[in-house]
Chains A and B, each alone.
Chain A
Amino acid sequence: MDELRIENLSKDYDGFLAVDNVSLTIQPGELYSFLGPSGCGKTTLLRMIAGFEIPRTGRIYLGGQDITDLPPYKRPVNTIFQNYSLFPHMNVFDNVAFGLRIKKVPKTEIKDRVRKMLTLVKMEDQAAKYPSQLSGGQKQRIAIARALINEPKLLLLDEPLAALDLKLRQHMLIELMNIHDAVGITFIYVTHDQSEAMSISDRMAVMQNGNIVQSGLPDDIYERPTSIFSAYFIGETNLITGEVIGIEDEYVQLRCHRGNGEYFEIDSTFHFPPTLGSKLTVSLRPEKIAITRSKPRNQDDFNILRGTIEDILYVGTHTQYIVRVGDLKFRVFSQHKRVYFDEKALDWDEEVWLFWHDTDSWLINEVPDGVEASVEPRSLPQRASRKGIPAEV
């Protein structure tokens, strides 16, 4: 089968390791994403697979064949470049036909296949236009058609949607998935947008500093991050450090410092054997935490904290609360539910209860550098006014 196997691949630019000993296997027909912050080596990895960069060490196999030393034009791999790189002196038809003309495919067959491709990307009536006459989304489709017509074993997409506006991006994402389903070719998708990667991928890899720090199913990575980096990079999270003070069958007890020499305890399920007395981090997704004015009744299997609302951010689909617990700040996302036990909306500086189930605390065998407190929120949406924003809970 045409699986892609990468073994110990490294690449350096003047001694700077852009890709550091990466190994991975991608199954035929998969839609696989590389996700990571800017400069983590995604493009470099992709360019090595395409043949534009020569790896320093390591091998690349496609369908059992070693393609590491093949020039780009001899690889059964095609790329969608970030700026599409359509040929400006050729119309849509000639752009799409380019690969077939190089291979000297008969004219009538070219015509046929180009038409089929243009139909697939819904551009059948635009064949005579030139790239300068196309919109961003249309250019995107032509770039896809131009690549797929060569029937590659592997299609590489380097941030293909980065140049499009939000609505179009969402639309093209679905379109891309449909095209992927229709052609059944392996797609490798590079992005630094985590929601894009999560929604499109069969599997994905999180990259940091040229390394793959975690790979797997999107929900696996979201729900069960193995490092602080993946927990923090994918979605939003609260990171709380604590010391293991008790280990039961089902859960561990952590003692966490809230500042001023005061402590609170968190119960958490675990997926690796923790040692008593060791320092660990709990990753707690903001949407797993419930926030109420009155004390929750059911207290078994729940972690309960008392805090003060420091900030309220209404973002339409939900409200984000920043709740202070001692020196720690918790981010809490809450849907606006009409039917709930409280009537009045929560307000700034109100005392509230936070609670979440033991199974929603996720243990990470790592301590954040230096800081012991939870991490400050990275980016906050614009806030209209300080007070008076409705937030029903």
Chain B
Amino acid sequence: MNLEAFKQVNCSQTKASRRRDLASYLLTAPALIWLLVFFLVPYLIVFIYSFLSTDIYDVSFKFSLSAYRQLFSGIYLRPFYLAFRLAFITTFACLILAFPVAYYIARASEKMRNMLLILIIIPFWTNLIIRIFSWRIFLSYNGVLNTILLRLGLISTPLELMRTDFTVLLVMVYVYLPYMILPLYSALEKMDFTLLQAAMDLGANEVKAFFRITLPLAAEGIFAGSLLVFIPTLGAYLIPQLVGNQRSLYVGQVITYKIKNIPRNWPMASAMSFILLLLVAIMLIAMYAIYRKRTLAKRNV
């Protein structure tokens, strides 16, 4: 082929690829518009509201920094602290509990695997509020657990199991555990288990093989699962509200109160929402950077 012909072919190829680019833009447009209208615009409104002044029922359109000033003055930091603490502990507890389960499912026979996965998914078929209420019935002062323990003579007065910080953590872990198991499972299922034999052949005992082979290869699942658990836990409202107490208010609850209870404080609710989003975004970016550096870059260069 001579040079001219070669150039022509090349040219038409780039044209074709440009056409393909355009097509892909058009195809992603609905999603982009959806994001713009239902995510970016509302957040923009929230952002603007956080700089307005309070009114008893809604806001007055006067610029003010008082929401942020109050927010950083002290009492409003505790709900943030509690929420982050809860999110971290929940994520970690889910990880510790989910790993062996996911590992076991990934190594089970195909038939067994499908059945176990269905068992993991079954709780999703029941409404979340009903599941939380069943925990209340189970744990309350005159509840199932206390009755059983009393009958067995293990305790003489019922235990205070409801409305403690631990109850919140317990129900959180219960609700979000499947979100950790499933991505972990999908990462472990892809793993070639003869790699562990190879590691042991090369002198690594079971523990070393786990930390050097299984754990890094499950990184993808750990990352995805942690996000799926951490982010909703951080803004949790329903669970602390239904099984928690008024001494430990989480950020989600406080935001709801500021919107709902009179006197309303929408700028405060907006400021808290915005700061929460900002913190999550920073964390996400940091985690993603670490994740990319440690795993993605390695495998697909």
Q: Does B301 touch A at the CB level, under 8 Å? A: yes
User: Are B204 and A85 in contact, CB atoms less than 8 angstroms apart?
Assistant: no
Residues B203 and A85 in contact, CB atoms below 8 Å apart:
no
- List, in ascending order, chain B residues with CB within 8 A of A126's CB: none
Assess the A73–B195 pair: CB atoms within 8 A: no
Closest to B297 in A: A130
| Cβ 8 A contact of B194, one of A73, A81, A98, A147 | A81
Closest A residue to B300 using CB positions: A132
Stretch in contact with the other chain, from A25-33, A86-94, A287-295: A86-94
> Which residues of the partner chain B approach A99 to less than 8 Å between Cβ atoms?
202-203
A residues less than 8 Å from B301 (CB atoms): 130, 133
- Determine whether A50 belongs to the interface, using a CB cutoff of 8 Å to chain B: yes
Flag if B197 contacts A52 (CB, 8 Å): yes
Q: Are B299 and A130 in contact (CB under 8 A)?
A: yes
Q: In the complex the two chains form, what is the Cα distance from A150 to B217 in whole Å?
A: 24
Q: State A81–B199 Cα separation when bound (angstroms).
A: 11
Contact of B298 among A83, A86, A89, A98 (CB under 8 A): A89
Does B201 have its Cβ within 8 Å of any Cβ on chain A?
A: yes
Cα(A87)–Cα(B199), bound, Å: 9
Q: How extensive is the interface on chain B, given as a class?
A: 20 to 34
Within 8 Å of chain B (Cβ to Cβ): is A277?
A: no
Cβ of B35 < 8 Å from any Cβ of A?
Answer: no
- In the bound assembly, the distance between CA atoms of A236 and B301 in angstroms comes to 48
**Which B residues are within 8 Å of any A CB, using their own CB?**
192, 194-195, 197-205, 208, 212-213, 216-217, 295, 298-301
What are the nearest 3 A-B pairs in CB distance? Answer: A85-B198, A99-B202, A102-B203
Shortest C-beta distance, B212 to chain A (Å), equals 8
Residues of A within 8 A of B198 (CB): 79, 81, 85-87
Q: How far is the CA of A72 from the CA of B204 in the complex (A)?
A: 9
Contact B295 A50 (CB under 8 A): no
**A72, B202: Cα distance in complex, Å:** 8
Interface size, chain A (Cβ < 8 Å): 27
Task: Report the nearest A residue to B195, measured CB to CB.
Answer: A85
Q: Given contacts A85-B195, A87-B195, A102-B208, is CB(A73)–CB(B299) below 8 Å? A: no
Query: What distance in Å separates the Cβ of A83 from its nearest Cβ neighbour in chain B?
Result: 7
Q: Say yes or no for A71: interface residue by CB 8 A criterion.
A: yes
Number of A-B pairs whose CB atoms are under 8 Å? 66
Binding site for B on A (CB under 8 A): 50, 52, 71-73, 77-79, 81, 83, 85-91, 98-99, 102-103, 130, 132-133, 146-147, 150
CB distance from A371 to the nearest CB of B (A): 42
B294, closest chain A residue (CB): A89
Contact between B298 and A85 (Cβ–Cβ < 8 Å)?
A: no
Q: How far is the CA of A73 from the CA of B208 in the complex (A)?
A: 11
Residues of B within 8 A of A86 (CB): 198
Chain A residues near B192: list those with CB within 8 A.
83, 85
Interface of B is mostly: helix
Q: How far does the Cβ of B287 sit from chain A's closest Cβ, in whole Å? A: 18
Q: A147: which B residues are within 8 A, CB to CB? A: 201-202
**A85 pairs with B217, CB closer than 8 A:** no
Q: Which of A78, A88, A91, A103 contacts B201 (CB 8 A)?
A: A78
Q: Are B202 and A78 in contact (CB under 8 A)?
A: yes
- Select from chain A the residue with minimum beta-carbon distance to B217: A89
In angstroms, how far is the closest chain A Cβ from the Cβ of B293?
Answer: 13
CA distance A83 to B197 in the complex (A): 12
* 11 additional contacts (CB under 8 A) given A77-B201, A87-B213, A102-B202: A72-B200, A73-B203, A79-B201, A81-B198, A85-B192, A85-B195, A89-B298, A91-B298, A98-B204, A99-B203, A133-B301
Nearest-neighbour CB distance to chain B for A352, whole angstroms, equals: 53
Assess the A72–B217 pair: CB atoms within 8 A: no
Residues of B within 8 A of A150 (CB): 202-203
30 A-B pairs with CB atoms under 8 Å apart are A50-B201, A52-B197, A71-B200, A72-B200, A73-B201, A73-B203, A73-B204, A77-B201, A79-B198, A81-B197, A81-B198, A83-B194, A85-B194, A86-B198, A87-B195, A87-B199, A88-B195, A88-B299, A89-B217, A89-B299, A90-B298, A99-B202, A99-B203, A102-B202, A102-B203, A102-B204, A103-B203, A130-B299, A130-B301, A146-B202
CB distance from A56 to the nearest CB of B (A): 20
Q: B127 → chain A, closest Cβ, in Å?
A: 41
| In the complex, chain B residues whose CB is within 8 Å of the CB of A77 | 201
Closest chain A residue to B196, Cβ basis: A85
Q: In whole angstroms, what is the CA distance A73 to B192 when docked?
A: 19
- Closest A residue, CB atoms, query B191: A88
CA–CA, A52 and B201, complex, Å: 9
Query: In the complex, what distance in Å separates the CA atom of A87 from the CA atom of B198?
Result: 9
Known contacts A89-B298, A91-B298, A130-B298; is A98 also within 8 Å of B199 by CB? Answer: yes
Min CB distance A348 to B, Å, is: 49
A130 CA / B301 CA spacing, docked (Å)? 8
What's the Cα separation between A5 and B166 when bound, in Å?
Answer: 60
Q: How far apart sit A96 and B201, CA to CA, in the bound complex (Å)?
A: 13
B202–A89 contact, CB under 8 A? no
Complex contacts, B213 vs chain A, CB 8 Å: 87
Q: How far is the CA of A147 from the CA of B300 in the complex (A)?
A: 25
A381 to chain B, nearest CB (A): 35
Report the minimum CB–CB distance from A322 to chain B (whole Å). 44
Residues of B within 8 A of A81 (CB): 194, 197-198
Which residues does chain B contribute within 8 Å of A103, judged by CB atoms?
203
B209 CB to nearest chain A CB (Å) = 8
Closest Cβ of chain A: how far from B160's Cβ, in Å? 48
The answer for the CA separation of A150 and B203 in the assembled complex, in Å, is: 9
Contacting pair B202 A98 (CB below 8 A): yes
What's the minimum C-beta distance from A236 to chain B, rounded to whole angstroms?
Answer: 35
Contact at B201–A72, with CB atoms within 8 Å? yes
Closest to A133 in B: B301
User: Across the interface, which residues of A come within 8 angstroms of B199, CB to CB?
Assistant: 87, 98
Cα separation A99 to B298 with both chains bound (whole Å): 20
Residue on A nearest B198 in the bound complex, by CB: A85
Instruction: Tell me the smallest distance from the CB of B217 to a CB of chain A, in Å.
Output: 6
